[in-house]
Structures are given as C-alpha cells and as structure tokens.
Structure 1
C-alpha cells in the first residue's frame, strides 16, 4: 500500500481566490468586489451561510474564483472544518484562501482543506479529479501537511478490508513506516509469542488465518520517552461469542487504535519532534475455529495477573494487556493506549467524540486543550475506583467482560490500567469511523485523538 502524501500546491501566482465570508461580513465583501461580481452574487442569492459556495464568473466565460460562506457563530459551533465542505465542491484547479480567520482557527481550516482532498481509491479504476490549495499565509504548512499525512495513513489502514489488512499487512505497514523515517521495527510472531511471554495475544489470535504477532517500532535517541500502544484486531468475529452479522459489518475497523497510533507516529516523525518514540501493536484476528479461546477459560497475562474470559468478544483488552505490561517494564514519560474498545463509549458520547481516561488532571487539561485547538473533539471520562470490584470475578484476578452491562467503557479502562504500571497514562476508547460524509471527513475510517495528543505533547513532555 503506497501512502498518500497530502501537500499544499506550490506558491502559484495563478491560483484562483477562494474567499471565505461570514454572514456579518457579506455586505462589506460585496461592496469591495467589482460591480459585476457583486451583482452576480446578489442575483444568485448567495447569503454567506455556512457551507454555501458560489463560483465567480471571469472574462471570456472563465472562472475568476469562488466564495464560501462561513455562516455565523451559532452555525460554526455545530461543526468543524467549515470551509472544507464547500471546497470539496470546487471545480478542478488550484485555489488560494482569502479569509478573515487567523491563528488556530485558520490552521484548522487549512488542515480541513487538505483533508478534503483525501480519496480512498485503492479499489477504483480511476481516481476522481479534485481541487488543490496553496498554503494560506500565516499557516505552518509543514505542520499542517504532517497532520494530514498522519490522518491519511490512519484512514487508509482502517478503510482497507481485512482480506488485505490482516496481521501480515499491518506488520508490513509498520515496517514501511519505520523505513520512511529511519526508525527500527521488529515483530514477535506465532508460537514465539508464548516463548517470549505474550500469552494473551497468542490466545486471542491463535485461531486466525494469519499468525498473531506483537509489532514494535522505535525512533529517536534523545528526549522524553513516549510509548503508544494501539489495538490491532484486524478483524473481529467475536470469537466463539460470535457477533451477529449487523455488528460484524464494520469489524475491519477494529484495528483503528493501531491505525491511529501509526498515524500519530507518522506526524511525530515527520515533524522530527525531540523525543524517543516507542509504538507497540498486538496484531491479531479474533476468529472462530477449533483452536479459539473459550468462555470461562482462565488466562495468565504477561505480568502474572489471571483473567477469566466471560466473553470472547471482549478480546481487545486482552491483547492490549500484554502490550501494556511490556511497556510498563521500561520507563515511559507518557504511556498512551488507543483502541476501538467498547460500544458503551459510543452510547455515551456518540461517534464524533473520543473519550479518554487518565488519573492525571494536568494531562487531561492539556489533552482537552489540544483537542480544542486541533479540531479533534475529546472528552475526559473517569477511572471510577468504586467500579474496580466489577472487574474482579473471584475465581481469577480479573474479569474481561463484567455482567450487567453497566459502565462498560469505564470497566474496560479500569481493566487496562491494571497493566499500565506506574507511568503517566491515558487511554482512548475511540470509534475510528465516520458514519456519514462530513466536511473533511468522508464516510469511512477516521483518526480520533491523535491531534489532541500532539497538541498536548509540548507541555506534557516539555518539548
């Protein structure tokens, strides 16, 4: 799989203007335009509503540019990447943004313009043509391109069906990413997982058509240590507690945690941030076979904790447990896990918000601030200690699927915390999927939480 490389167009003097106009600035804008353009916009009924787009006629029947509406503050509060929705409808060509926006708002819209150029065309005979954009003045183009490249990688990985994105292909993606940035990658596969004490990863993945594996990538030789752990369940049937067909339909995205940490790693390395990065991905398929792990099995994790399996469809926390236990054996200044872990998180906050858990108030504040600045909505959820007893079944140390259905995202997060050691830690329970087309976010795989984390790193790690 060849990754897409989102780029702003070169500083093209012939680029057409794309004017961004708020509703309360429309009259002033019309008055400043040539008379024929102002008359044209009035005659078409252009009102600068959010998402509106009007093309400006030029001499000889050509195109002189376009105008996109920014609406008002109330409309803007109900979404993000406001210009991207209009920009996606532009005719082919190169455009230069002319906007009253500044600072983080301008950077977010510039990112939205680049994200609007994403197309998943691996299985299409012909890719659609699209507009290109010049980097707006005042925007750090290198940073925005790195953010978009990370998001494109995440989307490509999630969107690829499991037939072409099993554990082997996910391993290939890790090694290819490492090669692009001079990082080091390695893998522990199959029965070697048992020999090297990753019993939960082996148990979950042993029935799959491809051998389970633990993937590792390291980069950087100085600075604070950041460890990212991503759930890489390349397809999830539910195992012997098999999912109904309607619930299995999107399970190619169950490696969305792995895809998101790889996208974040792409951005970190492209920006050459002064830190030491470690990425750990347990890559498995949760399949049905005579070798599948079973309900009521008791498994012993890498760190010695025993787990009673009360639902084989709660497998993500099992494979993450071994990876987190490995991470806890070395020093990390910040340890992050990301996973498409629970349906309970979707019930709580819907598909658009990434809930996260941490005991560290300062870290939570920085992640929230990073999410607000990066147009990456997140919400802190509680590690609620009184619920610890819900994950303690009595027959073993831990229960992977407490009965009753209450607080499912919280109990999963509490389960993972048992394996994270004493590091500064946060866990993200993401969805990884955009259920319907939205500005800069076509239906399909999507990253969540990565930009929030990236924005938090300077303060959290002292970069």
Structure 2
C-alpha cells in the first residue's frame, strides 16, 4: 500500500478548515450565496463535518472541513483526519484554517486515513487525496506513513501467516529494499550460538525459533533495536484462557515496531550504524515445552527460574539484549508487547518507557509531543530489584504478588544490558476501535517518538 501525497494540480479543490468558533468570521468574507448554502446544509464546523460548495458550473468551488473547538481537537490524535475520511473522492489542498505548526501532523494523519488491511478481503481507506501543504517535508511525512503501514500490516496478519519464518521474510524484504544485510540463526543452531532461552521458549512449536539480525549503515553512532517477535503466545504450559489468547497474533508487535522504525531510519538515510535483533518464536504446548519451575541459563550466564511460562517475552528478549550489549553500541532500545500491567497503568493509548538517563527521557518526551506519538516514562525502581531474585536462581521471570508487573519486567531486562545506554518500551501496538487516522487493529507505538529524539540521543 502506497500512502503518498497527490501531485500538485490546478484542479485541486481548495479546502478551508473551519474552527467551530470561527465559522461566522469566515462567512463574513464570503458571498451571500455561500452563506446560504452553508446554512442550508447545516454546516457548523463540528469536528469531522464536511461540505462541498458548488460553483456556477456545478463543480466544487471549494470544500469545508469542520475542525471543532480546541477542546475537541485535544481528544483526537489527528483532528483533520476526521474530515479527510469523510470527504468524497477527489484531490484537495489546504487553503486556510490550519496553523503552520500543525500542518505536518495533520498531513500525516490525512495520509494514514488511506490505510486499510486488505490481505483477505478487498478493502480501501479514505478516497480523498491531499496535495502536500507548503512548508512541510513531504517526503519525510510519506516515510512516516509508509512505516506505519508496514507495522500495521505485520501486526494485523494472523499467526498462521505470520510465524517466525514469515517475520524473517519481512525483515529480509526490508533489508533488500535498503541494501542492508540480514542473517538468521534458527532451530538447534541457537544452542550452538549460545542463545539458549530463545530456543527454550520456541522449541515446542512446529515452526523453528530463530534470531533475526539486520545490519545497515557504515559510519556514525551505533544504535541497536531489539524487538520481541513472539508470533503467537498460547501461554505455554501456563495456558492462557481463550479470552486472553484472542489478540495474541499481535504479540510480535515489538518486532513490527522496530522494523517500522528501521524503515524510517534507512529511508531517511540517517548517519548511524543500525543493528536490528528480533528473537522470533511461537510459545506453544507440546511434550518438549519448557515448564514452570525449570531453571534456564541465559546467554549472559544468569540463571532464570521460570515461575510462569506465559512470561516468555522477557526470556527471548534477554538473550537478544545480551547479544546486543556485547557489541557495546551507543544505545540499545527494546520494544515489546510485554505486560498487561502496563495497560493497567496507562491504558492502551500511551506507550510506557523506561530510561536511566534523565536527559534521554526528556528528549523522548519532547519528540513524542512533537511527533504525536504519546509515551510516558516509568521508573527503573531499584527497591523492586529484590522482587525478581527468587533465591534458587539469579532471576525470576514472573514474581509473585501481582504488583509492579511492568516495572519488574523492565528491571529483569535491564540486567542483560550492562555496557550500553538502554531504553525499554512496553507497548500495546493495537487500536481497539477506529479513530481518525488510526484504523482498528495493529498500530505503531513509539517509533515516531524515537525517530524524533535520535538527533539528541545519538548527537546526530
């Protein structure tokens, strides 16, 4: 799917974006005929409302898009997208009503209304096309939209068609597109490569577990992205109930998000050395599944008591993070659909993240606001370290008690990154109901914020 701007055209329909409190002022500069047409059609400037105004020949002279009030817009990620998805097919150019500082966000939201997941049923997104507004970086906005489409496509694909092998193929396709290298270690070769916890989690499935590695860039600071690629999670022997298993095709959302971020970085040709590591597994049930009470030895040498086989994501991430850290990059970022506790804490819309460095956290927060990719900092709260130390092994993958589940998972992962700056995102990667610019289903969470912060994080 190509999410791009329309070519500039004299035939593009001028679009006036009308704040609900500014309709009367706009009408004062229009003809009485336009005023009568607007009144007759009940246009008030409500958010998402649209109206075509015909010229003398019957063709549209211009169009109006309701922008609501500031309080309405504060409740939407992409306010103008509400009108974009309601406008009839055609090519439009924004003629008035959107502040310069909001144009990039609104243009991105408009492009994203064109997304639809159509692999199994013919579907299409909004038909209204937009000419890139003056003063925006059109090519960059298209890169952001296309990366988001990649993330959504990967997360939306059912596990039958998006297993570890298909995730590997998606990474290889991306690598070929941008001239990156991509290598994979699979099956029992994981043991030879000292990636034992990835193997342990994935060995019960009939689709071999694997570690996917992509490298791109010849110079600059080193950035390593690690994405959880659990392509389906039954919970293992601690089997999930059906209600909890229904969305587990999205348990590879961390991998999808790091691939989307990698796409942005490569398409924008950022001056850095990029490494992507994806432990790709299916957490299944069979006679050789890992068990509650097992003690696993990680790549780093730390032993882990398995107190819940449904806390498998941190196990596969741990080996990948240890491998990442051995290369001593300037920054390691992990992304994972890791804990339900994160959803309890901040809901589905916010992506909680963890960072030891205050300046890095501030940079991410500023970029998130600018890129309309909301995130929220959570603490690496060291007094909780004892909660992940079971006594019989170095670490516990699922501390009892039910408290601070997202924090203890983040603390667990941090034990495997000791040489590099580290940031961890505990994302949801799913949109529960359709919103302007955000289709129901798979969703990018965090990549735009990270992209916007990279100049500060890596001194680019």
Q: Aligned to 2:292, what secondary structure does the other structure show?
A: coil
Tell me the TM-score normalised to structure 2 length: 0.98
Higher mean C-alpha deviation, range 341-350 or range 9-18: 9-18
- State the match for 2:194 in structure 1: 197
Shift of 1:39: 1.6
- State the match for 1:376 in structure 2: 373
- State the match for 1:357 in structure 2: 354
Matches within 5 A, 1:14-29: 14-29=11-26
Q: 1:62 aligns with which of 59, 62, 81?
A: 59
- State the match for 1:74 in structure 2: 71
**Aligned equivalents of 2:280, 2:56: Cα separation in 1:** 58
With over 3 angstroms needed to count, the CA separation of the structure-2 counterparts of 1:230 and 1:151, relative to structure 1, is: same
With over 3 angstroms needed to count, the CA separation of the structure-2 counterparts of 1:187 and 1:311, relative to structure 1, is: same
- State the match for 1:330 in structure 2: 327
Shift of 1:245: 0.4
Q: Does the 8 A contact of 2:185 with 2:212 survive in 1? A: yes
Q: Does the 8 A contact of 1:217 with 1:279 survive in 2? A: yes
RMSD, aligned α-carbons: 1.3
- In structure 2, stretches of 5+ residues that fail to align are none
**Aligned equivalents of 2:314, 2:206: Cα separation in 1:** 21
Q: Deviations over 1:292-326 (max 9, x none)?
A: 11000000000000000000000000000000000
Matches within 5 A, 1:11-410: 11-125=8-122, 127=124, 130-410=127-407
Higher mean C-alpha deviation, range 95-104 or range 138-147: 95-104
**Aligned equivalents of 1:172, 1:377: Cα separation in 2:** 30
**Aligned equivalents of 1:356, 1:386: Cα separation in 2:** 18
Question: How many corresponding residue pairs?
Answer: 460
Q: Aligned to 1:163, what secondary structure does the other structure show?
A: helix
**Aligned equivalents of 1:282, 1:35: Cα separation in 2:** 65
With over 3 angstroms needed to count, the CA separation of the structure-2 counterparts of 1:290 and 1:324, relative to structure 1, is: same
- State the match for 2:421 in structure 1: 424
Q: Aligned to 1:253, what secondary structure does the other structure show?
A: helix
**Aligned equivalents of 1:122, 1:356: Cα separation in 2:** 32
Q: Aligned to 2:133, what secondary structure does the other structure show?
A: coil
Shift of 1:103: 4.2
**Aligned equivalents of 1:383, 1:126: Cα separation in 2:** 43
Tell me the TM-score normalised to structure 1 length: 0.97
Q: Aligned to 1:65, what secondary structure does the other structure show?
A: strand
Shift of 1:119: 0.8
**Aligned equivalents of 1:331, 1:449: Cα separation in 2:** 23
Q: Deviations over 1:267-293 (max 9, x none)?
A: 111111111111000000001111111
Q: Aligned to 2:21, what secondary structure does the other structure show?
A: helix
Q: Deviations over 1:243-278 (max 9, x none)?
A: 000100000000000000100111111111111111
Shift of 1:24: 2.9
**Aligned equivalents of 1:99, 1:320: Cα separation in 2:** 48
Q: Aligned to 1:170, what secondary structure does the other structure show?
A: helix
With over 3 angstroms needed to count, the CA separation of the structure-2 counterparts of 1:64 and 1:123, relative to structure 1, is: farther
Q: Does the 8 A contact of 2:113 with 2:126 survive in 1? A: no
- In structure 1, stretches of 5+ residues that fail to align are none
Q: Aligned to 1:71, what secondary structure does the other structure show?
A: coil
Shift of 1:60: 4.1
**Aligned equivalents of 2:358, 2:390: Cα separation in 1:** 30
Q: Does the 8 A contact of 1:104 with 1:373 survive in 2? A: no
Shift of 1:439: 0.8
**Aligned equivalents of 2:102, 2:123: Cα separation in 1:** 34
Q: Aligned to 2:2, what secondary structure does the other structure show?
A: coil
Q: Aligned to 1:285, what secondary structure does the other structure show?
A: strand
Shift of 1:78: 1.7
**Aligned equivalents of 1:259, 1:303: Cα separation in 2:** 25
